[in-house]
Amino acid sequence: MTQHLVRTARRDRLAVPPTRGRLHALVGGRRRPRRIAMLSVHTSPLHQPGTGDAGGMNVYIVELAKRLAALDIEVEVFTRAISSDDAPTVELAPGVLVRHVTAGPFEGLLKEDLPAQLCAFTHAVLRTEAGHRPGHYDLVHSHYWLSGHVGWLAAERWGVPLVHTMHTMAKVKNAALAEGDTPEPAARVIGETQVVEAADRLIANTAEEAAELAFHYGARPEQLAVVHPGVNLEVFRPGDRAAARARLGLPQDAAVLLFAGRIQPLKAPDVLLKAVARLLERRPELRERLVVPVVGGPSGSGLARPESLHKLAAQLGIADVVRFHPPVGQARLAEWYRAATALVMPSHSESFGLVALEAQACGTPVVAAAVGGLPVAVQGGVTGTLVDGHDPDAWAHALEAYVTDPALVARYGAAAARHAAAFGWSASAATTADVYAGALAARGGARRRLA
């Protein structure tokens, strides 16, 4: 059943062509929503990715919402306010409104504390809808399991479909825990199971994720749709590496192995540092030109020991080659990608790995763990290298080729830019719009059968 599911999901994904500009009100003869409520309880699309709970999901919501608005689907994003300075509503882009919901104290709440605030959050969402004429929202799209619980109740109250995107799953993360990391609690597993049962449609980033939803959570084939995330090809594009290095203060002849993302055990930046130490043990002459920038901030269980990576660099004797930088905006991040010899992603789990696409769009190859969606985002042996496991020696061996072979970097980098160009957000939004239309059609068909 799972193999059939994966093949069907891939075929449906490929059957939807990339779309530019505006679409008609019908998709494949089915009605699209006019306005959707998009839920992101624990992190706002306005937050800077790379620290705290802000990461790829934030980018996903921003880019998807903008492209849906370009298809005449209005999007209102509900997210929890974390400051009294947060305006009640913020226009993110034409057709995209962010609503800040007061649910619990503004500060001092961890993501793990938020289940206790879901009642207050749901009340605010329902109250907002009640201030409009009936039928204000045609559909609910929730992101992450906490939002799924709010979406479950809102969709049922309004009589509209619930579309849900997991982004990460507790059972998958727990099966690939980093050393010393904290397992996801049983309450999350139960919550995710309930959301899967309630959703009309489940959007998975890859066919593998769709199969995991079926295997771990009993998702039904008719619920599942595969929509690959995209990349902003206007921001992330090839450029002048020498100029990027000059602007970032990097030596022109450096071998730059970049880590970009949240600093937490799940993302395994420690594997990169250990691999660099092993590489320098074997090839000490590389120390003169090796630079390892870590661009990001502590997140998740990494918040408990925010200086642990600095201490590890010192213990390994590589503090002179590792440079720590705070998270940056997309334009600056694109400069880091262009300046890098390779992006390194040793993650223990990734539902997709948006930064891998971003780096490749800038013409930079990627060395990534062969986990989750990374084998889809990265073409091993073509646009980068996929590494099995997290053994530092294996990673050192993989990285050595990039540090010592400029021709390989150039060849993979050119292929990476071509590969990433196929992952525009417009195509992702068009496919998502079709998922919405299918959910509305199925809900309408169910009503007619009951009538």
Residue numbering of the annotated binding site for 1D-myo-inositol 3-phosphate: 42, 53-58, 111, 144, 168, 188
Bind-site residues for Mg(2+) = 337-338, 340, 364
Bind-site residues = 42, 48-49, 53-58, 111, 144, 168, 188, 262, 267, 328, 337-338, 340, 350, 358, 364
Under a CB-based contact definition with an 8 Å cutoff, are residues 39 and 151 in contact?
yes
Distance CA 59, CA 404 (A): 34
Other Cβ atoms within 10 Å of 317 Cβ, number: 12
Name the token pair of 108.
Answer: 């001092």
* Distance, CA of 147 to chain centre: 16
Under a CB-based contact definition with an 8 Å cutoff, are residues 405 and 388 in contact?
no
CA distance readout (Å), 118 to 136, 140, 190 = 22, 16, 15
Query: What SS3 state is found at 446?
Result: helix
To the nearest 5 percent, what fractions of the chain are helix, strand and coil?
A: 45, 20, 35
Bind-site residues for UDP-N-acetyl-alpha-D-glucosamine = 48-49, 56, 262, 267, 328, 350, 358
Other Cβ atoms within 10 Å of 135 Cβ, number: 12
Under a CB-based contact definition with an 8 Å cutoff, are residues 392 and 275 in contact?
yes
Question: 367: burial class by Cβ within 10 Å (0-12, 13-18, 19+)?
Answer: buried
